[in-house]
Amino acid sequence: GIQVEQSPPDLILQEGANSTLRCNFSDSVNNLQWFHQNPWGQLINLFYIPSGTKQNGRLSATTVATERYSLLYISSSQTTDSGVYFCAVAPNQAGTALIFGKGTTLSVSS
């Protein structure tokens, strides 16, 4: 099946710093989503981005489908950005379910 690898596994930042999270996937996809899981366990949709670039405030994401990777950029990080960031994909051949990476754990300190 498709492999989803996220890097780095852990990231520690000072408030105000910028960061880039990466997601590599091993096959073509019809869906790619980025999520933030907050300390209470909620999965928050950040981006639906099977290809192209999107921005939402301090966050932006780019997916290069032909090269099978996606990047999530966080600028001017805040303590509320702490949590786990997941990349999830749905493979073209299998269709439906999201396959999740293991996540990047981000800790932002003031």
42 lines the binding site for other proteins (CB under 8 A): yes
One of 13, 21, 74, 88 touching other proteins (CB under 8 A): 88
Segment near other proteins (CB under 8 A), from 15-23, 58-66, 69-77, 89-97? 89-97
77 lines the binding site for other proteins (CB under 8 A): no
Rounded Cα–Cα distance for residues 80 and 101 (Å): 22
Helix (H, G, I), strand (E, B) or coil at 65: helix
Binding positions for other proteins, rule: CB under 8 A: 30-31, 33, 35, 41-43, 45, 48, 50, 86, 88, 90, 94-100, 102-103
